[in-house]
Amino acid sequence: MTIILTYQICKTEAKYKSSKIRFPHESEEIINRLINEYLNTSHIYLTMSGIMDEKYSEFPGLKAFLRKQSDEKRDQATKLMDYQNMRNGKIIIVDIKKIYQEDFDNPLVLMENIYGIEGYIKDNLQSMYHGAWKQKDFELSYLLISHMENQTKFLSEIGRIMQHLEKQSMDVFTCPFVEKMMC
C-alpha cells in the first residue's frame, strides 16, 4: 500500500504545488490528529521494544518486529506531514503521552496490547473518514480509506499471530509461523 500512497501524494503534489488553495480547517485537524496518532503509536512500539528486549533478550525477532512497526508508523506520520504541507496546511504536533510501562507476562499479552492499539487507530480512522467526507474533502477521504485498508490487514495479521500463540504455546518463538513473520 505504500506504493499507492506515494503515487497519490506525488499526483496531488503536482496538482497543488503552484496553487495556494486552502482546505477546510476541519480537514487540517483530521490530518494532524492522524499524524499525532502515528507518532504516538511509533513511540509506544519503540518503548515496547525496549521492554521486550530487556525481558526477552533471547528473542531478537520480537524486538525487530516492534522496531519495524515503530519505523513504519513514523514513516506514515512523515508522509502525512508532507501531505499537509503540500495542501498548504499547518502541522500541529502535540506532546507524546507518557506510556504506562506494563509488565508483559509473555508475547501473547504483548500482541493483545498491540491489537488493542491498532484497533483504536482503526476506529479513529473511520471517524476521521466520516469527518472528511462530511467536509466534502474527497481526496482526504480516499487517502483515509487506504490507511483503513492497511490497518485492517495489519489487524488480521496480528489476530492470526494471536490465534497461533493461543493454540501452540505462550512462547512466540516456538512456532515457526510467527518466527518467520517477526524475524
Which residues carry a binding-site annotation for Fe cation? 118, 151
83-122 in b/e form (b: 16+ CB < 10 A) is bbebbebebeeeeeeeeeeeebeebbebbeebbebbeebb
Grid cell in block for residue 29: 485537524
Binding site residue list: 118, 151
Look at residue 16 and give its three-state secondary structure. Answer: helix
Distance CA(48)–CA(104), nearest Å, equals 9
